């Protein structure tokens, strides 16, 4: 699919600084065509990869298409796909990327926990993908923890009170901080986001414990009527439906309040998926939440110079303002530019037009300014 975001964001940039109009984020993030998606993963990844086609087409993304390459267990991790260079699956992934028309490339968060370089496989595939797909978007799907019957003991063994606390640690401290952040630093011009699919399993399991499910669902048993189909925790249909709705809104920014897909369950799976994505850290979503739905800081409180800039941006703020600063490119993607003592280091940022956000950390009010980087 052709990338229409630069044109749309260009129009928004010209508007946001010349009027008081408040612009909703979905004006630049809402997809209008289907993506060509490459999906590689394991058996926990497979259900959502397979079902996404139905939901995307049902929503009207008629040009949506996907290539799915799946292997069970550890063999479905990016590092295993990469290292097994003589297998047909490895060759099939490369063949799909060699066509140069992949819009979105999805992988599992699975990695070798014994390897201090958690992102070795993800890095290898990203490097290969960018050779012929320079505008590709990457997502990492974060799976549930397996063996549900042992969730409580596993959480306690790792120093957490609940499995939800342990999963939150995995999502934020491991995947986001130790995987996505380093990948973004290495690939600053590539949009990398996450989908916390595992929350669908944990939310529905908690509703089962609290007797809040509106369907007769067992813990283990047949796919149609159970949370899990085996002791390892492979997903029953109700989890598959909720998880795929989460993929749909994460990838296509679909409004689940108005989506009409019929899940076949009385339990409101749309609302569950919506709450999960609403609670997901906005820095790790495909689209930045509420970037233009803002309560602006007074322009008089902030001074940015020089502009145009080459290596450093100086940020002067009212002495009472506790702030942070984030740089975005014309695709709405966060650009790695570290802030140190009111100076934004842009030495590694490519020349071009950017949007700088200054946020008051106490009130969450935001101020935006167009920045030109010239060298």
Tell me, what's the pLDDT at 56?
A: 96
pLDDT band at 334 (very low <50, low <70, confident <90, very high): confident
Write out the DSSP string of 164-219: HHHHHHIIIIIIIIIIIHHHHHH-TTS-EEEE-THHHHHHHHHHHHTT--SS--EE
Q: Which of 69, 68, 153, 158 is nearest to 113 (CA)?
A: 158
The pLDDT of 264-286, averaged and rounded, is 94
Percentage with pLDDT > 90 across the chain: 64
For residue 226, give the H/E element and its range. Answer: strand 226-228
Reported as half-sphere exposure (CB side, CA atoms, 13 A), residue 273 has a value of 29
81 in Cβ contact with 73 (< 8 Å): no
Nearest one of 81, 139, 79, 163 to 114, comparing CA atoms: 79
Non-local (6+) Cβ contacts of 294 within 8 A are: 22, 365, 366, 368
Q: Summarize pLDDT for 43-92 with one digit per residue, the tens.
A: 999 999 999 999 999 999 989 999 999 999 999 999 999 999 999 999 99
pLDDT category of residue 2 using cuts at 50, 70 and 90: very low
Q: Which pLDDT does position 364 carry in this prediction?
A: 67
pLDDT band at 297 (very low <50, low <70, confident <90, very high): low
The span from the CA of 148 to the CA of 109, in Å, is 19
pLDDT digits (tens, 9 = 90+) for 134-162: 989 999 999 999 999 999 999 999 999 99
Give the pTM.
0.74
Residue 329 has pLDDT above 80, yes or no: no
Domains and CATH numbers, the chain: 26-284 (3.40.50.1110), 299-373 (2.60.40.10)
**pLDDT-derived band at 203, boundaries 50, 70, 90:** very high
Q: Which two tokens mark 146?
A: 């397996």
* Residue 123: alpha-carbon gap to chain centroid: 17
Q: Would the CA dihedral through 168, 170, 171, 176 be positive or negative?
A: positive
Query: Do you find a cis peptide bond into 325, omega within 30 degrees of 0?
Result: no
Encode pLDDT of 164-188 as tens digits. Answer: 999 999 999 999 999 999 998 898 7
Average pLDDT, the chain: 86
Omega of the bond leading into 245 within 30 degrees of 0 (cis)? no
Lowest mean pLDDT among 35-44, 169-178, 304-313: 304-313
302 versus 287: the higher-pLDDT residue is: 302
* Alpha-helical regions (H) of the chain: 5-16, 26-29, 46-59, 78-83, 88-98, 120-132, 151-157, 163-169, 181-186, 198-209, 237-252, 269-279
The per-residue pLDDT for 31 is 55
More confidently predicted of 336 and 43: 43
How far the first Cα of the chain sits from its last, in Å, is 31
C-alpha–C-alpha distance, residues 224 and 238, integer Å: 7
Asked if 346 contacts 327 with a C-beta cutoff of 8 angstroms, the reply is: yes
């Amino acid at each position: 699919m052709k990338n229409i975001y630069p044109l749309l964001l260009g129009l928004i940039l010209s508007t946001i600084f010349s009027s008081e109009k408040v612009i909703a984020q979905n004006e630049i993030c809402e997809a209008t065509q289907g993506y060509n998606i490459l999906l590689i993963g394991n058996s926990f990844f497979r259900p959502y990869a397979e079902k996404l086609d139905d939901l995307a087409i049902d929503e009207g993304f008629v040009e949506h298409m996907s290539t799915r390459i799946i292997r069970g267990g550890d063999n479905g991790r990016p590092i295993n796909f990469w290292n097994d260079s003589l297998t047909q699956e490895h060759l099939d992934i490369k063949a799909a990327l060699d066509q140069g028309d992949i819009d979105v490339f999805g992988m599992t968060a699975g990695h070798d926990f014994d390897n201090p370089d958690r992102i070795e496989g993800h890095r290898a595939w990203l490097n290969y993908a960018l050779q012929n797909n320079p505008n590709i978007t990457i997502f990492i799907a974060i799976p549930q923890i397996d063996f549900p019957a042992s969730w409580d003991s596993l959480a306690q063994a790792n120093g957490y009170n609940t499995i939800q606390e342990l999963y939150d640690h995995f999502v934020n401290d491991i995947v986001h901080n130790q995987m996505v952040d380093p990948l973004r630093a290495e690939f600053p011009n590539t949009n990398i986001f996450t989908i916390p699919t595992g929350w669908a399993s944990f939310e529905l399991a908690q509703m089962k414990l609290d007797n809040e499910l509106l369907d007769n669902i067992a813990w283990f048993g047949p796919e149609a009527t159970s949370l899990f189909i085996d002791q390892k925790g492979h997903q029953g249909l109700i989890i598959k439906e909720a998880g795929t709705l989460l993929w749909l809104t994460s990838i296509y920014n679909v409004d689940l309040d108005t989506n009409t897909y019929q899940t076949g369950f009385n339990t409101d799976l749309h609302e569950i998926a919506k709450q999960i994505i609403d609670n997901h850290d906005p820095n790790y979503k495909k689209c930045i939440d509420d970037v233009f739905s803002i309560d602006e800081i007074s322009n008089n409180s902030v001074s940015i110079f020089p502009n145009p800039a080459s290596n450093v941006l100086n940020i002067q703020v009212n002495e009472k303002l506790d702030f942070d600063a984030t740089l975005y490119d014309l695709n709405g993607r966060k650009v790695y530019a570290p802030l140190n003592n009111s100076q934004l280091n842009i030495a590694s940022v490519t020349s071009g037009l950017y949007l700088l956000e200054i946020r008051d950390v106490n009130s969450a009010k935001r101020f935006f300014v167009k920045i030109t980087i010239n060298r």
